[in-house]
Structure 1
Amino acid sequence: MSTASTSRTAWPVELQAPDIEPYRAGNTGVPFFWTFVAGQPGPHVMVTAVVHGNELCGALVLDRLLKAGLRPARGRLTLGFCNVSAYLAFDPAYPTLSRFVDEDFNRLWDKPKLNGSRSSVELARARAIQPLIDTVDLLLDIHSMQNPTEPLVLAGACQKGLDLARRVGCPATVVVDAGHAAGARMRDYGFFQDPGDPRASLLVECGQHWERGSEAVALETTLRFLLATGCVDRPAVAHWLGPEPGPQRVVQVTQPVTVRTGDFAFVEPFVGMETIPRAGTVIAHDGDAAVTTPYDDCILIMPSRRLAVGQTAVRLGRVVDG
């Protein structure tokens, strides 16, 4: 199990992890993955949860949709719980400890790792899920964050991801990003990051891991994703929908800050989306080196408390569209 922290969280656990045991059998050949096929043609749309075992909001949404018997109006809809071993180890008294079992499931999605000989709990699960991912046209991967930061949708580096995020319409901030130095996320897998391939993916960060509001963000984003993809018709989900979303802003990640020494520390307890007005402002120290903002109005995106060498400490970005 992850030993990223052995202390109790500073944030209260307001969500209760749903029992997903009823979904173990699946109907896809992959445990905990369910696929439903409509009579009308359309894309294969997938929504995934618990890529990290202590991120509960996605599990709550999939549990709700499965219990309600939601079915696609066209195409194929797959709902799946990913890192189940980590999720089943979740303990609300020590909620940081079940992010993963052996390694981060969301840094494994490149062909050399998936096709290699190395083994772990997460690699075994990713390899089992990969054949399903290979059939997907449009993916939404539901996540949450360490800190109480405003919700974000991560659209990747291709225009098709940004276009999909705009069709979904929420959350209000879209982040255009190229991923992490430590490894590829599931939303970055293969064809999703090929600008010449129409298949696209989004990753939504719904707020702090265990705050009650993250479930509402996850549900709203999922429903609007299903509508935007044409998978469902509005009457099927209208009773769950919130108000129509307002305008979005687009933040372009220009560079990640990757931890290089065992002595990395931020100068303030940043939680994310802070705008630093002046270029050259020191935001952290990495050993003897100062980490500074490269331009005015630099936005800090998802600063991490997991500051291990080779991991992303924070990503730096700026608004490129209103």
Structure 2
Amino acid sequence: MRAFESIHFAALAPGPRLIVTGAVHGNETCGTVAIRRVLGDIEQGRLQIVRGEVTFVPITNPLAYERGQRQGDRNLNRKLAPTDDPREFEDHVANWLCPMLARHEVLLDLHSFHTAGEPFAMVGPGNNTGRLEPFGHAAREEALAVRLGVRRIVDGWLSTYADGVERRRGRPASDGAAALDLDADYGVGTTEYMRRVGGWGFTLECGQHEDPRAPEVAYRAILNTLAHLRLIDAPEPQPVTEVEALRLFQVVDKDHADDRFSREWASFDAVRAGELIGTRHDGTPVTAQVDGRIVFPNPQAQTGQEWFYLAREQGRFRAGSS
């Protein structure tokens, strides 16, 4: 198993501190390919870091990467934090990764997804002083989000996960109760941790795992980020002209191994109020309460874990925002 690897560049002129990560999940390799391509551009003199600092992490989770699977011992992108008592491989990753995130200001975390679909960016909340996810850099995230090269932008991850935790706490024990995670911090991954230590950034879902276009999406996003932050001398990336802005608002858990979807859903499929999404093992229908989109449907979800999310359109992002 390889050692942890990061490649750091620091320019003479001051500027933002960016970190770009790939393969947080070992079977999501588009970021790794794109980062290696950018490193080749720098080594060959086609690209020069002229301001600030940038750190590239091509393979964030080497155990999962070498196994060609999502995780080593557990999902690195859940409850991410340093620990004094590392027990699983991902605990060691967190002890290496989290201090490095804290030394930077901006994170671009490159991912892919299981089913076919259009790339999208996941961003943080609006500015707030709340307990769950206080944040003060929304304008910076919004300005770069529309310049990453994708038109679909999603927010609401951590608050929706926390709402799901509260619903779980109110349910009586069941066969899946032992598997339910009742800690809202389980929803904290790379970008959520970055915001907790004062930074900001994105999870960019670049396409389906095997889509040959996904590494190109990741590569273009890296270049656009470097240009927007002025780490390289390049024209300012143009914002997308039509933004599809969605906010997660509900997570539905799988209560029993025999819960079944009504059909093969893909992320961002539209659902209408009253439409059948799935059926519980006892025949109880699971329907949409309002018009929206289904996100991250997982027919292989374990009992007591997230089965699917629902999102709806919102007007936070505007074409040409800056």
Asked whether the 8 Å contact 1:173–1:250 carries over to 2, the reply is yes
Q: Structure 1 residue runs of 4+, over 4 Å off?
A: none
1:185 aligns with 2:162: no
Matched residue, 2:93: 125
- SS of the aligned residue for 1:75 comes to strand
Q: Indicate whether 1:259 and 2:232 are aligned.
A: no
Deviation at 1:60, TM superposition (A): 0.4
Closer, same or farther: CA 306–46 of 1 in aligned 2, 3 Å: farther
Tell me how far 1:221 sits from its aligned partner.
1.7
| Alpha-carbon separation, structure 1, partners of 2:217 and 2:113 | 12
User: Paired residue for 1:147?
Assistant: 115
Change (3 A) 1:146 1:134: same
Where do 1:3-82 residues align within 5 Å?
31-69=4-42, 70-80=47-57, 81-82=59-60
The structural deviation recorded for 1:135 is: 0.8
Offset of residue 75 of structure 1: 1.1
Structure 2 CA distance for partners of 1:231 and 1:314, relative to 1, 3 Å: farther
CA contact (8 A) 1:208 1:214 kept: yes
Alignment of 1:1-322 (within 5 A): 31-69=4-42, 70-80=47-57, 81-90=59-68, 98-110=69-81, 114-115=82-83, 117-159=85-127, 160-161=137-138, 163-169=140-146, 170-179=149-158, 180=161, 183=186, 184-189=188-193, 192-193=195-196, 197=198, 199-234=199-234, 245-277=240-272, 279-288=273-282, 289-296=284-291, 298-321=292-315
What's the TM-score, normalizing by structure 1?
Answer: 0.77
Gaps of at least 5 residues in structure 2 are 128-136, 166-180
In the TM superposition, residue 193 of structure 1 has moved relative to its aligned partner by 4.9
Q: 1:140 to 1:165 in 2, by over 3 A?
A: farther
Residues 39 and 73, structure 1, Cα contact 8 Å, conserved in 2: yes
CA distance in 2 between counterparts of 1:33 and 1:86 reads 17
Alignment RMSD (CA, Å): 2.4
Q: Which runs of 5+ in 1 are unaligned?
A: 1-20, 26-30, 91-97
Task: Check the 8 A contact 1:156/1:162 in 2, yes or no.
Answer: no
| Number of equivalent positions | 274
Aligned mates of 2:56, 2:102 — CA distance in 1? 15
Deviation at 1:228, TM superposition (A): 2.2
Distance 1:255 1:163 in 2: 26
CA contact (8 A) 2:38 2:219 kept: no
Q: Does the 8 A contact of 1:172 with 1:248 survive in 2?
A: yes
Deviates more, 1:220-229 or 1:99-108: 220-229
Q: Output the CA distance in 1 between the equivalents of 2:252 and 2:84.
A: 28
